[in-house]
Amino acid sequence: MKNILSYLFVLLSLTGCIDTFKHTDSPILARVHDTYLYTSDIKGLIPENISPRDSISLVRSYVNDWVRTNVMIYQAQQNLPVDQLDFTKQLDDYRNSLIIYSYETELISQNLDTIISEVEIEEYYNNHLKDFELKENITKAIYVIVEKNPENEDQFDQIFSLPDSTLFDSLDYYAPQLATSSYLDTTSWVSFYDIQQIIPIETYNRELFLKNNRFVKIVTERYAYFVKFFDFKIKDDISPLAFKRNDIFNIIMSQRKVKLASKVRGDIYERALKNNEFEIYYHE
C-alpha cells in the first residue's frame, strides 16, 4: 500500500496534481474549493496483491468520484436556502431511531421465546390456507444421472423397474458407485422448475406432464437421466404444510418479535410513569 501510494504521489506530482499544506504531512490527491482529499483518506481502499496499474486505476476512479460528489455538494450548499441545509432534526431522529432499535433488539434477543411447536405451525397453516396457494408446480421425486454407456443404462433400467420396497435399497447401493449425481429424498417437496434445471425435461405444459408421468428416462449425448415422481401439486393448489413449514415458522417468530417489542415499549412507559420520570405540560 505504501509503495503504491508513493508511486501514485510521484506520478501525480509530475502532472501537477498534488500539493501539500503546512498542517499535514499527507499529500493531497484532490481539492474542491476548501475541501481536500488526502492520501491518508484512502488507506484501506486498495486490496492486497493488486498490480500497480490496477491500484492506480482504482485510486483515480475513487478520486474522480470524490470530486464529482463534492462539486455537487458545494453547488447545493451555495444555492439551497439555509433552512434546507439544516439536517439537525433529521439526524437527531435517525440517531434516536438507531438507539431505540439497538436497545429493543437486545431486549428481544434476551426475552424472545424461540420454541415453536408443531401444533402452533399446524394451527397457523389451517387458519391461513388461502395464503398458501402455490405459485409454482412442486413434486416429490428422485433422480439418478449416469454417464451414457450400455452397462450403466441396463443397470438402472432394471433398478427403476423394481417395486418401491426394493428400489431404494438398490439405489442406495448402486448410486454412490455409478451415478454422476443423484437425489433420493422422497420426503421433501421440490420445485419442478428446479428439477428441470438439472434434468433436461422438455415440456410446454408442466401440469400435464406431471399428471401423465411417473417415470422418465432421458438420454443425451453424454448422460442418461432416470427420474421417478411420487407425488405432485399443481400451481394454484394449496401448498402442503411441509413445503411451507419454514415460512410459517418465520412468520410466527416475526409476530412474536412485534408483540414483544410492543410489550417492551409499554412496560418501559408504565415504569417511567409510575416512578414520575416525566411530566407533560399542556398550554392552552
Cβ burial of 201 (10 Å; 0-12, 13-18, 19+) is middle
- Residues of the chain with pLDDT > 70: what percent? 91
Q: Where in the chain are the domains? A: 2-82, 87-133+239-269, 138-233
List, for residues 48-62, the tens digit of each pLDDT value. Answer: 888 888 888 888 899
Classify 281 as helix, strand or coil. Answer: coil
Distance, CA of 61 to CA of 59 (rounded, Å): 5
Q: Which amino acid is at 25?
A: D
- Residues of the chain with pLDDT > 90: what percent? 66
Q: What is 10-26 written as a DSSP string?
A: HHHHHTT-----TT-SS
Residue 8, pLDDT score: 52
Mean pLDDT of 90-95: 90
* Cβ neighbours for 83, distance < 8 A, ≥ 6 positions apart: none
Residue 6, pLDDT score: 52
The region, left, alpha or beta by phi > 0 then psi within -120 to 50, assigned to residue 231 is: beta
Q: How far is CA 8 from CA 18, 49, 60, 151, in A?
A: 10, 16, 9, 65
Task: Using pLDDT thresholds of 50, 70 and 90, give the confidence band for residue 3.
Answer: low
- Note the pTM of the prediction, 2 decimals: 0.64
Mean pLDDT of 261-266: 92
Residue 18, pLDDT score: 41
- Averaged pLDDT of the chain: 87
The x, y and z cell numbers of residue 267, run together, are: 412496560
Distance, CA of 5 to CA of 58 (rounded, Å): 12
